[in-house]
Amino acid sequence: MISKSTLRIFGLAFFLSALAFSATAQDSSSESSPEAAPAPTQIDEAEALVDRIGETNRESVRLIDAVPSATGEDLLIMRAQMSGLVRQQRNDLADLIDLVLEREKSGADVTLIRQKAEQILRRASRRLRSYIQTFQNALAEEAASRSTLAPNELQVFETQRSEDTGRLDRFYVALIELSDQMTSLGLNIDDENEFLERRLTERGQSLLGVLKLTDRQLTEYKQVFKQSPDNPDLQAQVFAAEERSDANKASLLATIHMLKTLGLDYVDLQVHTLELTGEVTPDALEVDVALGLLDRAVLRTKTYLVDHGPKLLMRLFSMIGTLLVFWILAGIARRSTRRVLNRTKISTSVLLKEMVGSMVGRVVFIIGIIIVLSRLGINLGPILAGFGIAGIVIGFALQDTLSNFAAGAMILVYRPYDVGDLVEAAGISGKVRDMNLVSTRILTLDHQTLIVPNSKIWGDVIRNVTFQPQRRVDMVFGISYQDEIPKVERILGEIVGAHEKVLSQPEPMIKVHTLNDSSVDFIVRPWA
């Protein structure tokens, strides 16, 4: 078995050599194609790209020869150099294919250039498929040595293996890109498609199984680690298991994405992954995946009913009794909360008292529902995950309703009005009848009931006519120019002073205000 460092360097080298086009191949290709060649400019440009591919190959061979004597930083530098050569090689190949398609579109004869490009692609595909198989087998053999490592060596091993796993995923991506390039030239890719379908499907199932096993091991390690948190060996095992789980999860998601890109069946694998990880991803919102999750949930429910039917029937009566008890407790909690708020010295609005009382009652009843579900043995994890997905969808669909919730909370906190107050808000005048977190019910002065969204009220100017205990009443009276002003002022003062609701302090204001063309206007402003 070749060493890990040599295997990684050779992985890049094989990919480069697959793309390389040797001088011998170029000569034979030229001799075997006596047809009319493209224009000199086209030949020069194509030959330049092929020469660059060959030069990159020679540079990779030089690096390969230096691998046995390289260690430490030199080996890391070689890896970086090889990565750069891969990027250059892929760009040159893409340019060569673009050149062929561009010349064909313009009607030029590009037979020789196309032959060279096709040979490069076919050779690259064969070599890359061969290396993927070799690399994957080497990783499988390497995994077998995990059990022989000491705990303090596991973390380094898993970190390096995580890099190798990601590297293998990138080789698969490179093969998919290569297949797309072959398709653009009209080449047959049945072998590539068969290889990718078989390998990626097997890899997905294998990664899913390994991820399940790793998660079980990680759970066991964490439980033991809680009992002995100072044990360095246990800590190393936990870190290594977490690294292995993260790497397998990332590789599994990458495999699912590649299957989806190729138009292959990925839904079942995606459903199992979502159930295993419990993470809500954009893929969970796809119709096929959501239906798959639903089917799995229905299947689990059917299996549960068959296995636990008799017990479930006995628990049904217990469930009904528990719900009834919590329904009664919710009513008691609601009334008790309102009594406490009524007796407290803290100034609270009627709206807040009603809202808090209702919320306390609902919370108590929801607790009862959760207790009943848990006593039935129902796993709340998938249900909460379903609520999370539904919450995202509902949140996007009901953005205006959520703004009403926020506005309702602000109204309850700042108390701009209360039940029975006469208010003017959102272009509406009337008395407040009641309110919840979404809307406020207002009875207008002409006896119409209006339901106003809280966001409209909070986003507008709120005028509370009855908020203050004292109010000034503004009135205007007109008299003719023949009437005696002092006498009128005295009479108005007597009328205002005799009214039982007029306050002595502040003093009422009775003054001449306006001299109109046909009348003298008095302003009368008593406080009541």
Joined together, the tokens standing for residue 402 give: 């959520």
Together in a domain, 425 and 355: no
Bridging pattern class, strands 439-444 and 449-453:
antiparallel
For residues 411, 413, 419 and 425, what is the CA-based torsion angle, rounded to 10 degrees?
Answer: -20
Mean per-residue pLDDT for 206-232? 80
| pLDDT attached to residue 15 | 47
Q: What is the pTM of this model?
A: 0.50
In this structure, the number of other CB atoms found within 10 A of the CB of residue 82 comes to: 22
Residue 79 lies in a domain: yes
Together in a domain, 358 and 485: no
**CA dist list (Å): 36 to 110, 111, 112, 381:** 9, 8, 9, 70
| pLDDT attached to residue 19 | 46
In this structure, the number of other CB atoms found within 10 A of the CB of residue 155 comes to: 20
Q: Which of 103, 127, 144 is the last residue of a domain?
A: 144
Together in a domain, 59 and 28: yes
Task: List residues bridging with 512 in a β-sheet.
Answer: 522
Residue 243 lies in a domain: no
| pLDDT attached to residue 251 | 86
**246-283 as b/e, with b when 16 or more CB fall inside 10 Å?**
ebbbebbbbbbebbbeeebebbbbbbbbbbebeeeeeb
What pLDDT digit, counting tens, does each position of 451-503 carry?
888 888 888 888 888 777 777 888 898 888 888 888 888 888 888 888 888 88
Together in a domain, 18 and 58: yes
Joined together, the tokens standing for residue 69 give: 């004597």
* pLDDT > 70? residue 214: yes
What pLDDT digit, counting tens, does each position of 322-350 carry?
888 888 888 888 888 878 777 776 666 66
Task: List residues bridging with 509 in a β-sheet.
Answer: 525
Q: Of 66-70, 407-411, 502-506, which range is least confident?
A: 66-70
Together in a domain, 440 and 514: no
Together in a domain, 76 and 21: yes
* DSSP letter (8 states) at residue 472: B
Cα–Cα distance measured from residue 425 to residue 469, given in angstroms and rounded to the nearest whole number: 20
Q: How confident is the model at residue 25 (pLDDT cuts 50, 70, 90)?
A: very low
Together in a domain, 70 and 103: yes
**Cβ–Cβ under 8 Å, residues 49 and 92:** yes
Residue 137 lies in a domain: yes
**CA dist list (Å): 39 to 36, 42, 46, 108, 284:** 9, 5, 11, 8, 54
Q: Where are the alpha helices (DSSP H) in 185-266?
A: 190-227, 232-261
What pLDDT digit, counting tens, does each position of 142-194 carry?
877 777 888 778 878 888 888 888 888 888 888 888 888 888 888 888 888 89
In this structure, the number of other CB atoms found within 10 A of the CB of residue 198 comes to: 10
| pLDDT attached to residue 396 | 59
Q: Which of 155, 306, 301 is nearest to 238 (CA)?
A: 155
* pLDDT > 70? residue 16: no
| pLDDT attached to residue 37 | 43
Q: Which of 144, 179, 202 is the last residue of a domain?
A: 144
Q: What is the CATH number of the domain that holds 490?
A: 3.30.70.100
What pLDDT digit, counting tens, does each position of 44-54 carry?
677 787 778 77
Q: Of 161-170, 232-241, 247-256, which range is least confident?
A: 232-241
Together in a domain, 43 and 105: yes
Residue 93 lies in a domain: yes
Residue 108 lies in a domain: yes
Cα–Cα distance measured from residue 149 to residue 159, given in angstroms and rounded to the nearest whole number: 14
Q: Which of 363, 397, 431 is the last residue of a domain?
A: 397
Q: What is the mean pLDDT of the chain?
A: 76
**Cβ–Cβ under 8 Å, residues 163 and 92:** no
Overall domain count for the chain: 4
Residue 166 lies in a domain: no
| pLDDT attached to residue 22 | 36
Share of the chain above pLDDT 90, in %: 1
* pLDDT > 60? residue 313: yes
Together in a domain, 457 and 382: no
Bridging pattern class, strands 463-464 and 509-515:
unpaired
Together in a domain, 441 and 505: no
Together in a domain, 370 and 499: no
Q: How confident is the model at residue 40 (pLDDT cuts 50, 70, 90)?
A: very low
Spatial strand order of the sheet with 475-479 comes to 475-479, 520-525, 509-515
Together in a domain, 19 and 133: yes
Q: What is the CATH number of the domain that holds 455?
A: 2.30.30.60
* pLDDT > 50? residue 30: no
What pLDDT digit, counting tens, does each position of 393-412 carry?
665 555 666 677 778 778 87
What pLDDT digit, counting tens, does each position of 360-371 carry?
888 888 888 777
* pLDDT > 50? residue 4: no
507 is in which domain, residue-wise? Answer: 475-525
Cα–Cα distance measured from residue 183 to residue 181, given in angstroms and rounded to the nearest whole number: 5
Distance of CA 66 to the CA centre of its chain: 47
Mean per-residue pLDDT for 62-89? 72
